[in-house]
Structure 1
Amino acid sequence: MSDRKTGIKGPAIFLAQFAGDAAPFDSLPNIARWAADLGYKGIQLPADPRFIDLDRAASSKTYCDDLRGICAEAGVEITELSTHIQGQLVAVHPAYAPQFDSFAPPALRGQPKAQAEWAAGEVIKAAHASHNLGLGVQVGFSGALAWPYLYPWPQRPAGLVDEAFGELARRWRPILDVHEDLGVDYAYELHPGEDLMDGASFERFVAATGDHPRACINYDPSHFLLQQLDYLAFIDLYADRIRAFHVKDAEFLPTARQGVYSGFAGWADRAGRFRSLGDGQVDFRGVFSRLTKAGYAGWAVLEWECALKSPAQGAAEGAPFIAAHLIEPTPRAFDDFAGATTDRTALRQMLGLEETP
């Protein structure tokens, strides 16, 4: 567990939803300055060629030092590398292969097996890059094989889910072993659509990997609120595995016509939908308090996804929102002024016991 005295770092912002081909979202120097101007101190960097050459970063400490220098000059630092896209392709059920085909390089389109091999290699490169950047955590998705069988109807054949998680673990274990060798955690974003979507599925996966120490969690309360999961108690339960934190809001407004599944509606019309920070229902005071108590000392990273508000407004509002929720851990108990020195003889006298034996 992290040192409680250091507190949560932030504010930071995940750049994936902002990357583009026009300035200031087209290069690392430009987007780093944009983030700093909005008040962010850190940027979570997707493994996107506009921002990082993953091959060079995996092999060159000098290149990584240059990247850190670009960020420092702009006034931010890299918090983590993200391989959500690549992690997704590590395991894809055939039903979803056409939808994820564009995640792979053009030369691998329509080749799921080759895509999975490429994706595993990219996640491993990002582990080496993270090490060269001095980062202890990488974040991303797990991919999914069992997701189409989430609902237990029609009845699942015995052993189907175990087989899926066994295969998922088989694909990820060599990747996690490299992370272990490099001293880098892989924090999975527990997310519907991934086989790792909640605490129970995460536990199943960790067990299948042989309780791998580098299989960790990127905590995002928005996904848990939409599943109607106790996202505050989750922190207490999995504190020793939480290594990253996406600050993202959501709301769940069930009606007589819609519930958790939302009747195939698009995002704006769903009963459960993502919102910009402060516009949803997540109890962020509770979240930051629980994480601080648990000793989480990583970054608080805005992930903007909102069905109503523009990314520009969401990004501008995010930095002050996170900053207002950061807690400086107290170095002592509030009633220490009334404390007394510890003396065992005195303690035993207070309890009406005989002198210290």
Structure 2
Amino acid sequence: MTNIKGPGIFLAQFMGDTAPFNSLASICQWAASLGFKGVQIPSWDARCIDLQKAAESKTYADEIRGIVAAAGLEITELSTHLQGQLVAVNPAYDALFDGFAPEDLRGNPSARTAWAVQQLKYAAKASQNLGLNAHATFSGALLWQTVYPWPQRPAGLVETGFTELAKRWMPILNEFDAHGVDLCYEIHPGEDLHDGVTYELFLEKVNNHPRACLLYDPSHFVLQCLDYKAYIDHYHERIKMFHVKDAEFNPTGKQGVYGGYQGWVDRAGRFRSLGDGQVDFKTIFSKLAQYNYTGWAVMEWECALKHPETGAAEGAPFIQEHIIRVTDKTFDDFAGTGSDENFNKKILGIN
């Protein structure tokens, strides 16, 4: 078994226009001051990184690593959540997702998709240049608007949708494979990969591609009423990334999973700062240790109540306290009697 690395912090929700949140150097110093040991970098934020340049220039990638290392930190992974979303967008969401793309591509879905695919390919090479072995993204969605269908889905719709999704992602997965990096899909509502069943549908279509891996985030499963602990038992071999994020689900006589179109504060299911929700992190960290998860534990802060800086300050020690220092011995070794093959046969009554 191997100790989980951490604590890390995903910078996306903390970047801003004022110091120390407006540059990679200053936000890394801030994160280090709170006790974090690694940062997960949003690749779409130019204040953190120029993704294309990191792919095309090893010198520049080394400079980025140097900025992070100067704060005493490591880069845990890069993220292309926004670009991954744009690999597959149903026309019903074109206007809403246009904001994820450069301004000159808005209103042009085909150009937007081509840009997103290229961004993912840059991310594969940039990750290699940065010495990383895993990468975070979203799958995008062609079918999400039919998740609870009325009228009913036409026969074959799901099959056609996942065939197309796999067609778009296979070249990207092959690019990540060529650069020795696992592509980790965050299983998330709003994506066609939003639970175990949909992940398996996708995995079948990409021929069980070895790089089609998982970013495990239990908060999204709490809000779906999915057994997030058993999920680890099913998919631990594919889990290569871990977002430590809390959540709670408190259904009422008026509201359940769908939230009644309410804002986050007023939803039955909502994300919380670490320790304020219902996620059983002791069991999660134990299972990941049991299955020899070798990656990072990265805090993702999303809370409708608590200030982000408070959530971050509390998050580092929370993760540190949950990381298990795995044992290198068996607890009852003191009672061992020693053995050899003849002794074993004698115990079993074998002549």
Q: Mark yes or no: TM-score above 0.5.
A: yes
- Say what the alpha-carbon RMSD is for the aligned residues: 0.8
Q: Please tell me the residue identity of whatever aligns with 2:187.
A: L
Output the CA distance in 2 between the equivalents of 1:234 and 1:63. 39
Range that drifts further, 334-343 or 264-273: 334-343
Q: Is the partner of 1:251 in helix, strand or coil? A: strand
Of residues 215, 222, 232 in structure 1, which corresponds to 2:229?
232
Give the TM-score taking structure 2 as reference length.
0.98
Q: Please tell me the residue identity of whatever aligns with 2:21.
A: F
Question: Following superposition of structure 1 onto structure 2, how do residues 150-299 of structure 1 map, counting pairs within 5 Å?
Answer: 150-299=147-296
Question: Following superposition of structure 1 onto structure 2, how do residues 73-92 of structure 1 map, counting pairs within 5 Å?
Answer: 73-92=70-89
- Structure 1 unaligned blocks of 5 or more: none
Please state how far the C-alpha of 1:153 moved relative to its aligned partner.
2.8
What does the per-residue CA deviation read over 1:139-169, in whole Å, with 9 as the maximum and x for residues that have no partner?
A: 0101000000001432111110111111111
Please state how far the C-alpha of 1:341 moved relative to its aligned partner.
2.2
Correspondence 1:314 to 2:315: no
Correspondence 1:326 to 2:323: yes
Give the TM-score taking structure 1 as reference length.
0.97
Match of 2:31 in 1: 35
Match of 2:5 in 1: 9
Q: Please tell me the residue identity of whatever aligns with 2:96.
A: Q
Output the CA distance in 1 between the equivalents of 2:16 and 2:140. 25
Output the CA distance in 1 between the equivalents of 2:210 and 2:74. 26
Q: Is the partner of 2:52 in helix, strand or coil? A: helix
Output the CA distance in 1 between the equivalents of 2:17 and 2:191. 29
Please state how far the C-alpha of 1:12 moved relative to its aligned partner.
0.5
What does the per-residue CA deviation read over 1:26-82, in whole Å, with 9 as the maximum and x for residues that have no partner?
A: 111011111101110000001021111112100111111111111111111100000
Output the CA distance in 2 between the equivalents of 1:114 and 1:236. 40
Match of 2:16 in 1: 20
Please state how far the C-alpha of 1:353 moved relative to its aligned partner.
2.3
Give the paired residue count. 350
Output the CA distance in 1 between the equivalents of 2:34 and 2:96. 34
Correspondence 1:341 to 2:338: yes
Question: Where has structure 1 moved over 3 Å in runs of 4 or more?
Answer: none
Output the CA distance in 1 between the equivalents of 2:52 and 2:258. 41
Percent of aligned pairs with the same residue? 62
Please state how far the C-alpha of 1:342 moved relative to its aligned partner.
2.6
Q: Please tell me the residue identity of whatever aligns with 1:84.
A: H
Question: Following superposition of structure 1 onto structure 2, how do residues 133-152 of structure 1 map, counting pairs within 5 Å?
Answer: 133-152=130-149
Output the CA distance in 1 between the equivalents of 2:324 and 2:176. 30
Match of 2:108 in 1: 111
Please state how far the C-alpha of 1:340 moved relative to its aligned partner.
2.6
Q: Please tell me the residue identity of whatever aligns with 1:14.
A: F
What does the per-residue CA deviation read over 1:262-291, in whole Å, with 9 as the maximum and x for residues that have no partner?
A: 211111101000000000000000010001
Q: Please tell me the residue identity of whatever aligns with 2:277.
A: G
Q: Please tell me the residue identity of whatever aligns with 2:190.
A: G
